[in-house]
Amino acid sequence: MGAEPQVVRATIIFGLRTFGSVPLPVRADLEYDPSDPFAVSVGYHAGGGVVRWLFGRDLLADGLLAPSGDGDVRVRPAADDSRIVVELNAPDGSAVLEAAASELADFLDRTYDEVPAGDEGSWFDFDDELAKLALRD
């Protein structure tokens, strides 16, 4: 392995789809930390706070090309293929957001520069993660 991979960050403005109106802008701070190489954290700025979601990196990448995911998170290309749609479902509500596909692709490209696809296991410390789970009891 080469140099230690670096945390990758980006801010993307998503549009919150609403009925009968243009999408409302929502700032989203994306972060990829190679110490958790399979995941991307997204903090959506809503109201006075931040709502944080954890996405599989592969889910986001797959969603750029075709509908991906089921359950709480779904990602797919929009009718306008320059955009992607992210559907979030939680017990407290749901949201449909859209963003520029190129901005998400640029962010993901930078994550793959740090930890290439297929190399995630080299950066994931299974024993450390298992120890964290054991401490939660």
User: Nearest Cα to 35, choosing from 118, 90, 110, 115?
Assistant: 115
Quick count: other Cβ atoms within 10 Å of Cβ 131?
A: 10
Residue-wise pLDDT for 42-86, tens only, equals 999 988 899 999 999 999 999 999 999 988 999 999 999 999 999
Mean pLDDT estimate for the chain: 87
Would you say the C-alpha torsion 131, 115, 68, 17 has a positive or negative sign? positive
130 three-state secondary structure? helix
> What pairs with residue 86 in β-bridges?
75, 97
What domains appear along the chain, each with residue ranges and CATH number? Answer: 8-135 (2.30.31.20)
CB 47 within 8 A of CB 132: no
Q: Where residue 117 falls among pLDDT bands split at 50, 70, 90?
A: confident
Stated pTM of the model = 0.84
CB 26 within 8 A of CB 15: yes
Q: What pLDDT does residue 114 have?
A: 87
β-pairing, 8-16 vs 24-32, is antiparallel
Report the alpha-carbon angle 88-94-75, nearest 5. 25
